[in-house]
Structure 1
Amino acid sequence: MSLDPPPYLATLQNNIRQRPIPWDGAARAGTITESQLAKIRAVDKVRKEQRKQVVESDLDGYRILFVGEPGTAGVLESASRRSDVVQYVLVLLSDLFDSVPALAKALFKDSDPYQHFLPLLAHSNNPEDPIPLLTSTVLATLMANAKDESPSTEHALPLILSYLCSLTKNTNDAGLQDIAVMEYSSLLYGRSSRQLFWKQRSETVTPLIEILKKAAGVGADSGASLWSVNTTLRSGGFEGLGGGVGLQLLYHVLLVLWQLSFEAEEIGDDLDDEYDIVLLYTQLLRLSPKEKTTRLLLSTLYNLLEANPSTLLPAAVLARLPALLQNVGGRHLTDPDLQEDLDKLKEMLEEYTKTKTTFDEYVAEVQSGHLRWSPPHRHQVFWTENARKILEFENGEIPRKLADIMKKPWENDKAVLAIACNDVGNLVKEVPEKRYQLEKLGLKTRIMELMQDSDENVRWESLRALGGWLKYSFENN
C-alpha cells in the first residue's frame, strides 16, 4: 500500500538531497572507498529510469555497497563517523527502494541485512537528529518491499516498532506521529508482522487508541468516558474540532487498525475488552467527517463482528450501532464499497437482533462491564419475568459480574453504581429467598458503603436497594 510521505519527511529528505557532499575528500580520508564512491555516483542525481537500469544490472554490487559482506564493510559502516554522509546514504537508499523494489529482496542474500541499520535508531538522544527517523523509513520500506519473514526480520521488527511508538507518543508533533503511523501501515503486510504488532500492543496499539479517543472527545484529560460521550451527538467532525486531531493523521490511524482487524478472529475479543473498540468506533462513525474515514470504520467493524459474533454483536447493540447505521444510510454516499460494507453490517445486525430478547440485551450489557439506563433497568415487568432467570443464568454469572462492576469507584461515571444498586434491589425484591446468594458476593456490604457516596443518585439507589433487605428481615422477625 503506497502512501505519499508526510510533508515533514519529504522536506527533510529534499534538504538532504540538495546538500553538497565532498565525496572526493571523503574518499581520500578513507571514509568511503573508491569503489563505493563509483557506485554512489552512478545513481546519484540521475534520472529515475537510468538509476533503475544501473542498479538492476548490478544488484549484488549494490547489496554489498549498503550492507557489506564478510571482509567488506558497507558504506554505512565505513562512514559511521560522518553524519552528513550517513544521512545522504539513507535518503539515497530510500530513493533506490522506490525506483528498484527488487533491491530490497537482494539485501536479504546475507542472513542479517539489519545489523548496521538498527544501531542508527538509537544514534543519539537529540530529538532533532534526523538519522533515527531516516533509518526507520529505510527499514520500513525494506521490510514492506521484501515482505521477508526470516528470523532476522522477526528480531528487527520489535525494535523498529519500539522506535516508532516513541514518535506516536509525541503529542506535541502531529507530523512525527503521522510518519510513525504511516510506517506502521507499511509494516503490517502479513500475518506475522500483524501478530508481532499486536504482541507489543501496549507500545503500538494503545497510543493509536488514545489518538482516536482524543478525536472522539474522550481525551485522557477530558474526564469524559466513551459511554457518556456516546449518548450525545456532536457536530463539526474532527479537523480542528476533534481534540486537535487532523484528518490525515486520523485516516492513517484508522488504516492501521483496519489492517490489524484482519486478525480479528484471534484478537477481536481482546481488542474490545481492553479498548472498548466497538463503542469507540461507533462514536467515531457518528462523527466521521469524510467518506474515506467512514469506509475504514465500517470495514473494520465488519471484520471484527463477523469474526466474533457471539461476543461483539451484543456489544454493538449495546453501543446503539444498529440505529446509527440507519442514520449513516441516510447520508449521500458516493463510494460503492462503503455502501456495500454498510449493507453487510446492517444485515448482520438485523439478523442478530431478530432472535434476541430483552433478557439477552440485559445479559450482554452486564457482561460488557458497563451499565447505562437502558429500558430494562426501570421496567418492573422485566424484573418480574426475569429476576429468577438472571440469578440462575450460567450458575450465577450475572450477580458475580454485578459484584465486580460495583467494586470499582467509577469516578467518571457514577451512574454505573446507581444502576447496579437498582438492579440488585430488584433482584432482592423479586426473589427474596435468594438474597443470601447476593450477600455472599459482598453486594449487601457494598450497597451499605455506597449510602455514603458523594453522588446523590448513588446514595438514593443504594438506600432503595437496602430497603429490600430490611423489609424481608423485619418480616422474618
Structure 2
Amino acid sequence: MPTDQAEITTDEVLSRDIPWETYMTTKLITGTGLQLLRRYDKKPENKKADLLDDDGPAYIHVFVSILRDIFKEETVEYVLALIDEMLSANPKRARLFHDKSLAGEDLYEPFIRLLWKGNWFIQEKSCKILSLIVSGRPKSQDANANGESSSKQTTTTINDVLKGLVEWLCTQLKNPSHPSRGIPTAINCLATLLKEPVVRSSFVQADGVKLLIPLITPAANQQSIQLLYETCLCVWLLSYYEPAIEYLATSRSLPRLIEVVKGSTKEKVVRVVILTLRNLLHKGTFGAQMVDLGLPQVVQNLKAQAWSDEDLLESLNQLEEGMKDNIKKLSSFDKYKQEVLLGHLDWSPMHKDLIFWRENITSFEEHDFQILRVLITILDTSSDPRTLAVACYDLSQFIQNHPAGRIIVTDLKAKDRVMKLMNHENAEVTKNALLCIQRLFLGAKYASFVQV
C-alpha cells in the first residue's frame, strides 16, 4: 500500500468534490439519494445534525447503498469519512443503522467486505464504524438473528459480523496493515467488542489471547500508555470468561501484569490491572502464583500511594486479604508445584531444604509422577540457565530421597537429557548436571557422599 494513501486524513478526504450527479446519470444512486446528498454534503455541522435528526435512516440508506454499489476508492473513502464524522460527533447516532425502516437491508456486509479489500484508511474507518454500529444495536436483534437466519440466508447476521471482525482484528495483531496504527486500532476495537460473549468465544478460539500478552509491558510515552491501558482492559474483560482464564493461566500474563502495576503511575492503568488480578485471584493456581511473584509487597507499596479512586483502594484491600488466605492455605509442596508448572525455577529455599525433600518425596508420585515429568520436560524446553541448573539439582534430590529414584528417573529417559547439559556453556548448569549424573549412576546408597 502506498504510504501517502495510508497516511491520508479524514479532513483531506472530506475536502474532495464527489460527482454525485454523474453517479445518478449512471443509475448508481437514485434521484432521491442525489437530493439527500445535495442537502447534506459540504454543509456546516449544525445543519447536518438537523438533517440527521429529521431524516437519519434515509441518510444511512444512501450511505450504505453507495458503499454497496460504488467501488471507486475516492468515493468509498469519502462516504466512510462522512459516516465516521457523523458518529464521532454523536456516537448515539449508531442507533440510526438499526431503525425499523432499514430492517430489510444488509447494512453490515459492505463494511465487512471493506475490512479486507480496502487500503488502510478504508480498513480503519470500516473497523471503527462497524464496532460502533454493533455496540449500538438493540439486543432484540440478537434473538432475531438466530431465529430468522434460515429464511434470510443472504443477510449477514450479527454473529457473522462479530466473527468477521474478530478474524480481522487477530490478523492485525499478527501482521498489521499499518506499521504504527494497525495494532492500536485493533486493540481499541477489541476493548469495546470483548463485552460481547460471541466476540470473547471467537477471540479465544482464534488463539487471540496469546497475541495480547506481548503488549502487556510497561509504557513510557502517552501513546504507548493508552495502548497498554486498552490491552489491560481487554485482559480484564477476558478475566470474566472461563476459557480465556485457562489461556491466561498457561501464558506469561501474570508476571507481566505485575511488572506493569509495579512500574505504572497512571491511575487508570493500575486500576484495570488490579481489577483483573482481583478477578483471577481465586481462579485455579493464580492466587499461589501471585504470592510467589511477590504481589503482596507490591500491593502494600501501592496502598501507601495517594490514589483518588476509592474503588481502586477497595480492590487493593480485597486483593491483599485474598492473598493472605492463599499464604495460609499453601503447603510448601503446592508452592513447589506452581514453580515447576510455570517452568521458571529459581533457588528458592525449598530446593536445598533437606526437610522439604524428606517430607514431600511421596508427593512426587501424584498423577503418575506428573511434576517429575514436567521437570524432565523443562530440561528440553527451557533456555534459561538458572531454570536448567535448578531442574538438574531437583532431579538429583529426587534420586537421593526416593527409594526407587534411580529407576524412575531412568525409566522416564532423563539420563540423556541431563548428559547433554554437562556440555552447557553455563557453569552453574554443568555443575548441577554433573551432580545429577553422579547420583544417577551411584544410586541413593552412595549418592549422599556427592556434594554440590
Task: Output the TM-score relative to the length of structure 2.
Answer: 0.84
Which aligned pairs between 1:78-477 and structure 2 lie closer than 5 A? Answer: 78-80=69-71, 82-97=72-87, 98=91, 100-106=93-99, 109-110=103-104, 112-124=106-118, 127=119, 129-146=120-137, 149=142, 150=145, 152-168=157-173, 169-170=175-176, 173-201=179-207, 204-212=208-216, 215-216=217-218, 238-239=219-220, 246-263=224-241, 265-273=242-250, 275-306=251-282, 308=283, 310-386=284-360, 388-408=361-381, 410-411=382-383, 413-472=384-443
Distance across 2 between alignment mates of 1:314 and 1:179: 35
Structure 1's 174 and 208: CA in aligned 2 closer, same or farther, altered over 3 A?
farther
- The count of residues paired between Structure 1 and Structure 2 equals 424
Work out whether residues 63 and 106 of structure 1, in 8 Å CA contact, stay in contact via their aligned partners in 2.
no
C-alpha separation between the residues in 2 aligned to 1:247 and 1:384? 49
**CA 1:362/1:474 → structure 2, altered by over 3 Å: closer, same or farther?**
closer
Contact persistence 2:14–2:81 (CA under 8 A): yes
1:353 shift after superposition: 0.8
Say if 1:9 and 1:318 are closer, same or farther in 2 by CA, change over 3 A.
Answer: farther
| Shift, 1:50, TM fit | 5.4
Aligned equivalent of 1:220: none
Alignment partner, residue 230 of structure 1? none
Q: 1:473 to 1:207 in 2, by over 3 A?
A: closer
Which residue is equivalent to 2:153? none
- Residue identity opposite 1:246 in structure 2: S
- For 2:281, the aligned partner's letter is L
1:66-124 Cα deviation digits (max 9, x unpaired): 44xxxxxx2223332x3222222112223444352321322861363222332222334
Summarize deviations over 1:200-224 as a string: whole Å, max 9, x none: 23xx433332222xx35xxxxxxxx
Which consecutive residues of structure 1, in runs of 5 or more, have no partner in the other structure?
Answer: 1-7, 68-73, 217-237
Q: Shift of the alpha carbon at 1:189?
A: 3.0
Q: Tell me, in whole angstroms, the C-alpha distance in 1 between the residues paired with 2:201 and 2:108.
A: 21
Identity of aligned residues (%): 26
Is residue 31–residue 78 contact of structure 1 (8 Å, CA) maintained in 2? yes
C-alpha deviation, 1:31, in angstroms:
4.0
Give CA deviations for 1:360-407 in whole Å, capped at 9, x if unaligned. Answer: 211221222332221111222322332x23333344222122122223
Q: 1:420 to 1:111 in 2, by over 3 A?
A: farther
Contact 1:56/1:100 (CA < 8 Å) preserved in 2?
Answer: no
Two-structure CA RMSD over aligned residues (Å): 3.0
Report the secondary structure of 2:443's partner residue: helix
User: What secondary structure sits across from 1:112 in the alignment?
Assistant: coil
Corresponding position of 2:149: none
Shift of 1:325: 1.6
Deviations 1:234-282 (A, max 9, x none): xxxx215xxx97212222222222222221x332122221x22112211
Answer whether contact 1:450 1:459 (CA < 8 A) is retained: yes
**TM-aligned CA deviation for residue 421 of structure 1:** 0.9
Letter in 2 for 1:287: G
For the 8 Å contact 1:428–1:434, the answer to whether it is kept is yes
Q: CA deviation at 1:42?
A: 3.8
Query: Structure 1 CA distance, aligned partners of 2:422 and 2:60?
Result: 73
Cα distance in structure 2, aligned partners of 1:122 and 1:64: 22
Q: Structure 1 pair 12/290, CA: closer, same or farther in 2 (3 Å)?
A: same
1:444 maps to a residue whose letter is: K
Q: Is the 8 A contact 1:137 1:183 kept in 2?
A: yes
Q: 1:379 to 1:118 in 2, by over 3 A?
A: same
Residue 100 of structure 1 aligns to a residue in which SS?
A: helix
| C-alpha distance in structure 1 between counterparts of 2:365 and 2:210, whole Å | 37
Aligned partners of 1:369 and 1:138: how far apart in 2? 43
TM-score (norm 1): 0.80
Instruction: Output the CA distance in 1 between the equivalents of 2:387 and 2:30.
Output: 70
Contact 1:59–1:106 under 8 Å retained in 2:
no
Contact 2:351 2:394 in 1 (8 A): yes
